[in-house]
Structure 1
Amino acid sequence: MRIKSKIWSLPIISAAIFCIGLAVSVLFSVAALNSIKATEEVDYPVLDKSKQISTEVTALVDSFKEAVAEGDKKRLEQSTGQAEKVRQSLDKLSKVPGQAELAKRLQKEFEDYVGPAQKVARQMLGVETGDAQSLIPKMQDGLKVLETDLAKVNQEAQLQFTRGIAESNQGVHKVLMTVIAVALIVVVASFAIAFVVIRAIWHELGGEPEYALDIARSVADGNLTMQISVAGNAPHSLLGALKEMQHKLQEMMTGIKNSAHLINTASAEIASGNADLSNRTESQASSLEETASSMETLTETVRQNAENSVQANRLAQNATSIALRGGEVVNEVVNTMGGINDSSKKIVDIIGVIDGIAFQTNILALNAAVEAARAGEQGRGFAVVASEVRSLAQRSASAAKEIKTLINDSVEKVGRGTQLVDQAGKTMSEVVSSVERVTTIMSEITNASQEQSRGIAEVSQAVNQMDEMTQQNSALVEQAAAAAESLEEQTMALNRLLSVFKLDNR
């Protein structure tokens, strides 16, 4: 039940008890009023009229006696008026509620007396003639019956009047007692209900409302350290709920403060880590830029090497053609020895070029292997290609040396061309074979150089992509650093807001 209903129950129940008592009092009051009304309208009029009739009858009897004793005829006429008064009184008695039969009986008894009495008086006074002595017994019997009945009526009327007064007093007493009892019941019930209602409200509040108001204001001001005392140890009361609310708010705000502190610390560490990562990313980007520049230089060198290899291949193919033609015109060797000598010198020069190209290719392959080792995992394939190119360059150098040796031998033996013309064919065959080998090697060198150029181009492209990704990472790191700083600022603002709350040091 709500407090409002409990408060309203006090006057409502008191009013209900009062209405019930009032209804009982009204019932007793109505009964008392009816008794008083009956006494007023019936009992008292009957008693009054009966006494009046008795007095008038006595006066009439005395009037008859005095008129006869004094012989006063005027007095006899006056008795007639008195008899009429008695009749009027009996008539009034008949109009009293419930007394018509009594009045009728008394009227009959009165007429049974007054008729003979008047005749006896008139006869004794000589107003009428007749035997008065014969009517006297009838007159006396009628008077006796009338007086006896009147005495009985007076006695009963007196008893009824007394009873009516007693009943009226009793009714008034009952009304008074009822009013007093109702008042006492209302007072006792009001106190009892007030006690129950106040106790219930106190149990629901758990203390004074002003105390609860002070607690609410304290919590509203952020003070969660106030000790709340609950009357009667009622956990389900208002103060009990406020105490539980304060406890939970304190735990929640303590947790929020601790979390905010941890977030602040973590955001500071994140900001510091992002700053370090930004510096490292910038350093990595710078290194990648240098690597990209070196790869461009290496790419240009390899491209030139590939072009030189193509030229060397063409020269080797030309040498092969010459060697073939030399084999075909071996019979003209003697006549063209001078030309052979010149051609041999040219071949020596070409072999020198080939040797130089092989040496340069070897150096470039060595540098490419070093750069591939620096490139790490991404340069592993390039390292294999560089190793193969170096191997081919070494083989080319070795072949060039062999060709140079053969050419030198050929030059030295030009003077003996005639004697060695038979051997010239064999030597030219060997030259053709060697030149073919050189051509094959140069083709392989050319292909390897082209593959090397493509591989280095791919490595350069990968390095450029790494450079772009590193720059993007650097931008993302800067954004993360800005976000971490913003988070730290928001955490500090949250701590400032939480500083409003006063918590126990727990």
Structure 2
Amino acid sequence: MKNIRLSHLIGVALSVILLLFIGMVTLSISNFSNLNESRKASEYESDMLQQLTEGVSQLRYSRGMISRADASLRRGDKVAFERDYQFANDALHTYEQKIEVYLGRAQRSAEAATLDEAMMQTFNEYVENVINQGLLAARSGDENLMTKVSESENAINKRAEVAFIKVMDYRNRMVQERNDHVNSQINHALFITISALVLAAIIVGLIYFIFRRSVLSPLLRARQHFERIAEGNLAAPIEDMGKNEIGALFHTLKNMQEELKVIVARVRDGGLVILDGAREIARGNTDLSSRTEQQAAALEETASSIEEFTSTVRQNASNADRAREITREASCITERGGKEMQDVVSSMKEISATANEIFSIIELIDGIAFQTNILALNASVEAARAGEHGRGFAVVAGEVRSLANRSANASGEIKGLIESVSKRIHQGSDVATHAGKTIQDAVVRIREADQFVDEIATASIEQRQGIEQINTAITEMDAVTQQNAALVEESAASATSLEGQSNNLVALVERFNVGSQSSRHHSSVPTAGTSSTRAQPTNTRKERTVSTSSRPDASQSDDWETF
């Protein structure tokens, strides 16, 4: 049974049940068809019997109406007579219709035909001798005929009644036989149905037994295996259940259990690795949070220093602008001094030219004095030659000569002074020229200094703008650092939560019993120990900060930077 496929077994069971169902339905249809035919026949016979009884009733009613019509006629009530007479005729016609329907029925037996024939003879005799004669007597008012009809009516009525009773007895017997046949069919159908139900119950019980043994019991054992797996027991052996679908299910369950063993072992080892990593992350995040806070404090101090430096640079830029204005004013003043020095040099040159002219005039006077002296000397010689006559002329010539000498001396002194003045004028002119060149050089230098000061002022403005941008960037860095500090704190909290979840995961995985692999047990560190370990980096953080400041090498930094 273990190697029979469930699909085949279920197909056979469903086929048997289907055959049983078809057989039961066929028998039911056949029985119901027979019962329906019997029911229709019984209804038809009942209807025919009803037609007969109604016809007899109409015949008797017609006889009663004839008697009433006769009585009405005797009373002289013609209206009542006509009415009762018409009722009698109508009842007679109705009788004839009912009897015609009754006699026209199908499937009459020989006995029924004989009885019907005998009954109809008595009925016809009754109609002819009683009804028709009664109608004739009532219409004609013949009392003798009516009396004769009444006298013959009893004998004919008795014969008709006997024949009618025989027919009714036969009809009742036929109805009873048909009812007995119907009851027999019902009992037969009931027996067959009960037998089929018993057989179906036996087959269903057998099928249930087979399914219980082949399907339900293995499924119950599979449920027990699933419950053990749900409880964490992965070491219970799973038996072989054959090569059918149930066997494939148990084989798959066994493979699932083996895979779960491997997965649980890997999850447990991974959980321990995650737990260790979470602890390291928590410690690193705590240390990083402290360092981030220190960095934020340092950035605040840097921002404050840069703010002060920005104020100083702004002041320097303002001083540079003032120096540039002063340099421009000095450049203008120096340019005006250069122009005035050029005017002085021009004036000195004009004075030097005038002095040269005076010197030429003095030389001319000196020449005149020298010639006058020569003339006076010649006059003295001539006066000496003249003697007494020339004595006065000699005195005049002496005076003239004396005047010429004094003029020559004065012109010599003036010449010396003029030469001295001319030398000084030349020296002053040279000095003025040199001073003008110096002033021009100073103007050039002042212009260069003005350009440098202008460049310094421009650089100071740019430096001020750059410092302001740096200050803004430092402020933003401070805000980002504050956010990073908050994120690091959140990360530290998440790492702590991850550590707790890892502990829970390891504890949850430890529920599973994986057999020989359960010896690979790792003890988890309690939460209190974790919190005490996490509290240690607070003291070491300051030492790391000091060592970092004394050793700026990036290769000597702590692990949190790499993290």
Same fold (TM over 0.5): no
* TMscore range, shorter length: 0.3 to 0.5
TM-score scaled by structure 1?
0.40
TM-score scaled by structure 2?
0.36
